[in-house]
Amino acid sequence: MSGERALRADAERNRRRLLDAAEALFRERGLDVGVAEIAERAGVGRGTLFRNFPTKQDLIAAIVIERMQEATEYTRTLLDAPDAGEALFGFLEELVGRQQLDRCLFDAVADTFLANEEIRAAHAQIVAGLEGLLTRAKESGAVRGDIGAMDVLVLLKGVFEAASAFASSEPGMVTRQLDLVRAAISAHAADRPLRGRPPTLADIERTFPRDEKSVAQTG
């Protein structure tokens, strides 16, 4: 038993190293970095990567899911915050501050979305969490009423995508972009209503239709 735990510890350490190495390299140079380099950076053999993540896509998905789950958990800690508006804006800042959701990972979501039921689930949770923050912020009058969680997420995704390239050399730019997001969704911006209706999670999921395999594996 202790033997099993010891072994597990080693394996877990390698898994962690692989996730960290991959995330760092993806962030630095995009999703095209080779698995060989990831394994090298993690200090493990190529086969170990494969043992932990049978496919490069699985590795990417694992990272994305981790980041999403962290974001979801963070929304939970904010549900009881006294100022609902600040909770929402703080959430967005935090995401940026931690650089938890960077460009290439968002790309990955698009690529992997349809093939991975786990990502759909993690995504649905993060949407639900944001929805909670948003509802309270609307009630408190901090945020315009005609906006949905998907609106914010897409806007956020855009900011990250656009700003991530400058994150290291021009950190101030990210802050300004966040301020712009805040201005966009603030209540006092509502004098000019948004066209259309807030997109729903279903709208997004419809864009990435499930494929047979994925459904078969999961359901």
208: left (phi over 0), alpha (psi -120 to 50) or beta: beta
Rounded to 5 degrees, φ, ψ at 143 are -125, 145
Whole-angstrom Cα distance, residue 98 to residue 105? 14
State the binding partner of 57 from DNA, its own copies, none, CB within 5 to 8 A by kind. Answer: DNA
Q: Using the 8-state DSSP alphabet, how is residue 30 labeled? A: -
Residues 6+ apart with CB under 8 A from 60: 22, 26, 31, 105, 108, 111, 112
For its own copies, the closer CB: 133 or 153: 153
* Token reading at 215: 């459904």
For DNA, the closer CB: 51 or 98: 51
Q: How far is the CB of 155 from its own copies (least distance, A)?
A: 6
Contacts (CB under 7 A) with DNA, residues 78-97: none
State the binding partner of 79 from its own copies, DNA, none, CB within 5 to 8 A by kind. Answer: none
**Under the rule (CB under 8 A), what is the footprint of its own copies?**
103, 110, 147, 150-151, 154-155, 157-163, 165-166, 169-170, 172-173, 175-177, 179-186, 188-189, 191-192, 194-199, 203-204, 206-207
User: Is 162 within 8 Å of 177 (Cβ atoms)?
Assistant: yes
State the binding partner of 197 from DNA, its own copies, none, CB within 5 to 8 A by kind. Answer: its own copies
Contacts (CB under 7 A) with DNA, residues 9-68: 10-11, 13-14, 32-36, 43-48, 50-52, 54-57
7 touches DNA by CB under 7 A: yes
User: Is 124 within 8 Å of 83 (Cβ atoms)?
Assistant: no
User: Is 158 within 8 Å of 92 (Cβ atoms)?
Assistant: no
Binding footprint of DNA on the chain (CB under 7 A):
3, 6-8, 10-11, 13-14, 32-36, 43-48, 50-52, 54-57
